[in-house]
Amino acid sequence: MMYPFMTLDDEAEIVHSEFLPDERVKVYVEKPDEKDCFHHMTCYLPDYSVEEIYGFSDAEVNKYMDVIRSTAHLIIEFSKEGGFDNASGL
């Protein structure tokens, strides 16, 4: 299951998986694009490995990785609790 985490000012959405059996968390970034429909990339925490980059420039990948790095501790915590809504008690 994927849980919503954050929508950025450029309309990119960041979602994450539950805590996986291999003790990683899948983080997926997707941004609408008029020409290609969606650009996307996948990152796995805690090792920050990036896979499946489609449509993003190197600068965009770096920007999204900066956001992921700065919030990784929250993403990992929320993945163990069933997403933000469950972790926050909402």
Model pLDDT for residues 1-10, shown as the tens digit of each residue: 899 999 999 9
Mean pLDDT across 58-83 = 93
pLDDT at 43 over 90: yes
Task: Please tell me the distance from the alpha carbon of residue 24 to that of residue 18, in angstroms, as a whole number.
Answer: 9
- Give the residue carrying structure tokens 């700065």: 70
pTM assigned to the model: 0.88
pLDDT at 89 over 80: no
* pLDDT, greater one: 82 or 7: 7
Mean of all residue pLDDT scores within the chain:
91
